Structure 1
Amino acid sequence: MAAVISRQKSVSVNPLKQSQPLGATLAFLGLKGMMPLLHGSQGCTAFAKVSLVRHFREAIPLATTAMTEVTTILGGEDNIEQAILTLVEKSQPQIIGLCTTGLTETRGDDMEGILKNVRKRHPELYDLPIVFVSAPDFRGALQDGFAAAVESLMRELPQPGETRPQQVTLLMSSAFSPGDVQELKEITAAFGLIPIVVPNLSASLDGHLDDSYSSVTTGGTTLAELREIGSSVYTLAFGESMRASAQILEKRFGIPFEVFPQISGLGAVDELLQGLSDLSGIAVPEKYRYQRRQLQDAMLDTHFYFGHKRVCLALEPDLLFARVGLLMAMGAEIQAAVTTTKSPILETLPIETVIIGDLEDFEDLASGADLLITNSHGAEISQRLKIPLFRQGFPILDRLGNGYSCSVGYRGTTQLLFELGNLFLSQEESRH
């Protein structure tokens, strides 16, 4: 059991965490025909948009209610109404994801009441789903906002229907890249199951050229698929932060679920494939049996370089749990673990302490380590301490292909072990 310690500093130095509205926006971008709408100032939206564009190197649809000093004092109802009507006229979205920010949460706008009034005045909006998420950026972090968006989707859009014995729902946490989502979709489909993935970033932010320009998302989970989730036979929740969304589906439709907090590493992937085999009645395909043998060989090849290496990590809770588990299984030692927000998964980590803090805390704890694992904002720390950096999490601004990276399943774990092993190998060579 790990002790979770929150640093009580009067100021955050070199912040690690990203905001809840950014997390909610990222979740919404995994839906087809979606336009995320941030209720706040233009600066809040511009910051989120720039961060997402630089990480994925893709065009990111994102709108704002453009609150000013005057509208903040008088109330934002007119701004929300005008923003929605403008989006419907110019972008014609299939879904709007309306998300608050710190500004409007502090003011305390009655969002549900505002949406009711807007719909009353404009009956033409009746058939347009407007999914609201409360996401104050003065509390929580990216993972919390992402999870809150998925919970709102599960509360509002799925409808009851006759159970389809082959259909399963995959709920993906913010810890998974578009490449990870694609791999888990393919693994599930290999067992004859039909997965509905929420959110499906592998179809929207994976990096592909579309035939024509669109001002909304061109890929992702469709509105029809979201409606059909109530007919799924089972829910697989990937990442502890998806547990609440799975519980909403269980409560609404009686759909049983299982949470997989980690999908990297031999044991974790074995557990997933055994679960899919039990669910479908189909034996594990030979393709994955072969990939398992490849992973075993990769573990043999790389474990010499992991043994007793001291690693410091600064990641969101779900991703931190997955990386700590894999590193410790390979014989590495966790020198320090820093995270962004509270999560029940943190206490189950097999280390002494986890710090909820910033990158200043991370740097203070990292001296003498063999490897740093965090986002691109750790690059300067890496240079100052002369310790290699393995970039993980969000944002990764100084590397290409973030939409393609895969670290789940047997294949993804093998790839991850070789990438980490090569860093350790280079470090040993530089000492000679």
Structure 2
Amino acid sequence: MAIVVESEKACTVNPLKMSQPLGATYAAMGLDACMPVMHGSQGCTSFALVLLVRHFKEAIPLQTTAMNEVTTILGGYENVEAALLNIRKRASPRIIVLCTTGLTETNGEDMEGHLATVRKRKPELNDTELVVVSTPDYLGAFEDGYRRTVTAIVKKLVTPLRTVREQINLLPGSHLSPGDIEELREIVCAFGLQPVVLPDISGSLDGHLDAVWRGTTLGGTTLDQIRAAGASAFTIGVGEQTRDAAQMLEAMAGVPFEIFERLTGLEPNDRLVDRLAQLSGRAVPAKYRRQRSQLLDAMLDSHFYTGGVQVALGAEPDLLLAVGSLLQEMGAELSVCVSTTASASHALLPAREVMLGDLEDMERGASHCDLLITHSHGRQMATRLGKPLMRIGFPVFDRLGNAHRCQIGYRGTLNLIFEIANLMIGKIAHHHPGNWVLPQSSLDCATAARQGNRRT
């Protein structure tokens, strides 16, 4: 169990965390025909938009209520009404997710009251679902905004229905990529089950070209599917951040649930396929038995290069747990762990300490480490320290293919292990050019890596 400590610095120097409104927007992007709206200044929205576009290399539908000095002081009702009417007229979304920012939260606006008044004054909005989420960006982080938004969507839109035995809900955490979600869906369908994925960014942010254009999200969980989630026989959540939404589903529609703290690694995927076999009454398909044996072989081949390696890791809580636990199982040591916000996931991390801080905190403790793992804002740190950097999480804007990375399931775990091991092999090759040989044991590998560090 890791001890959680907070950085005592007066300011953030090199940010690790992203804001709650950005996490809320990310969740809304997984709904079909949806328009996320930030109730705040244009600058807040522009910053989020730039990060999403750079990460996914896709057009991102995102609007703002464009608050200014006057409306911030006098109240932003008129801006909310005007934004909703303009969005409906121009884009015709089926769902609008309105998330607050620090600007409007500090002002103490009654957002539920605003929407109720808009409904009465403008009946033409009655064919559009409106979901409001409180996401002040001076509290919490990306994962918190995502969690609150998914929970608000469930509370607002899910309808209790008669149970469909073959249908289950999948609640993916914000740390899962479109490729991860597609892999999870494929695993569930292989057992003859029908998944309702909420939210489903694999349909909207998977990097596909389409002849159809519209001003809203194109793909994702439809409004009918969200409502039908109340008919599912079971809910599977991936990450502690999905617990609130799963509990809300259980309270509203009586749908039991299980939270998988991670789906990266051997043991959690064994639990997943066992649970799916139990729910479906079917045996585990031969395909996944084969993938499991391939993962075991990959772990055997790669542990020579990960055993004894000291790692500095900076990520959102659930991603920190997923990657950190796998590294520990592969013999690595989690020397430095930095996260963004408080979470029950930290209690499960196999490390001595987790610091809630920034990338400067990570850099200060990582001088002796062999490998750095964080998002793209850690690239300057890696250059200064002369360490290899593995990019994970959000945002990753200096690499292509983020939508298609798969790091869950047996196959995704295998991909991740090879990526880490190959980074360590590359590090050894860099410091021992020419006629070098692969180490024959994890001790040899770790020793070679540290010798390379000393020479630089």
Q: Which amino acid aligns with 1:342?
A: A
Q: CA deviation at 1:350?
A: 2.0
Q: Determine the C-alpha separation between the residues in 2 that align with 1:330 and 1:345.
A: 20
1:132 and 2:132 are equivalent in the alignment: yes
Q: CA deviation at 1:212?
A: 2.1
Does the residue aligned with 1:165 lie in a helix, a strand or coil?
strand
Name the residue aligned to 1:94: 94
List aligned pairs for 1:139-288, cutoff 5 A.
Answer: 139-288=139-288
Q: Determine the C-alpha separation between the residues in 2 that align with 1:8 and 1:421.
A: 35
Q: Determine the C-alpha separation between the residues in 1 that align with 2:185 and 2:219.
A: 15
Q: Determine the C-alpha separation between the residues in 1 that align with 2:158 and 2:114.
A: 23
Name the residue aligned to 1:372: 372
Q: Determine the C-alpha separation between the residues in 1 that align with 2:273 and 2:136.
A: 38
TM-score, normalised to structure 2, is 0.94
Q: Which amino acid aligns with 1:293?
A: S
Count how many residue pairs are aligned between Structure 1 and Structure 2. Answer: 432
Does the residue aligned with 1:115 lie in a helix, a strand or coil?
helix
Name the residue aligned to 1:109: 109
Q: Determine the C-alpha separation between the residues in 1 that align with 2:42 and 2:299.
A: 49
Name the residue aligned to 2:10: 10
The superposition leaves residues 81-117 of structure 1 with CA deviations (integer Å, 9 ceiling, x where unpaired) of 0000000100000100000011001111100001000
Q: Determine the C-alpha separation between the residues in 2 that align with 1:291 and 1:210.
A: 33
TM-score, normalised to structure 1, is 0.99
Name the residue aligned to 1:381: 381
Instruction: Kindly indicate whether the alpha-carbon contact (under 8 Å) linking 2:264 and 2:408 is maintained by their aligned counterparts in 1.
Output: yes
Name the residue aligned to 1:85: 85
The superposition leaves residues 52-109 of structure 1 with CA deviations (integer Å, 9 ceiling, x where unpaired) of 0000000000000000101111100000000000001000001000000110011111
Q: CA deviation at 1:144?
A: 0.3
* Identity, % of aligned positions: 54
Q: Determine the C-alpha separation between the residues in 2 that align with 1:39 and 1:153.
A: 17
Q: CA deviation at 1:423?
A: 0.3
RMSD of aligned Cα (Å):
0.7
Q: Determine the C-alpha separation between the residues in 2 that align with 1:6 and 1:229.
A: 38
Name the residue aligned to 1:59: 59
Does the residue aligned with 1:168 lie in a helix, a strand or coil?
strand
Q: CA deviation at 1:235?
A: 0.4
Q: CA deviation at 1:344?
A: 1.2
Structure 1: which 5+ residue stretches go unaligned?
none
Q: Determine the C-alpha separation between the residues in 2 that align with 1:431 and 1:241.
A: 41
Q: CA deviation at 1:403?
A: 0.3
Q: CA deviation at 1:124?
A: 2.0
Does the residue aligned with 2:171 lie in a helix, a strand or coil?
strand
Q: Determine the C-alpha separation between the residues in 2 that align with 1:416 and 1:353.
A: 24
Q: Determine the C-alpha separation between the residues in 2 that align with 1:114 and 1:405.
A: 40
Does the residue aligned with 1:201 lie in a helix, a strand or coil?
coil
The superposition leaves residues 158-191 of structure 1 with CA deviations (integer Å, 9 ceiling, x where unpaired) of 1011100000000011110110000000000110
Name the residue aligned to 2:445: none
Instruction: Kindly indicate whether the alpha-carbon contact (under 8 Å) linking 2:335 and 2:351 is maintained by their aligned counterparts in 1.
Output: no
Q: Determine the C-alpha separation between the residues in 1 that align with 2:266 and 2:155.
A: 34
Q: Determine the C-alpha separation between the residues in 1 that align with 2:401 and 2:7.
A: 34
Instruction: Kindly indicate whether the alpha-carbon contact (under 8 Å) linking 2:58 and 2:207 is maintained by their aligned counterparts in 1.
Output: yes
Q: Determine the C-alpha separation between the residues in 2 that align with 1:14 and 1:236.
A: 35
Q: CA deviation at 1:127?
A: 2.9
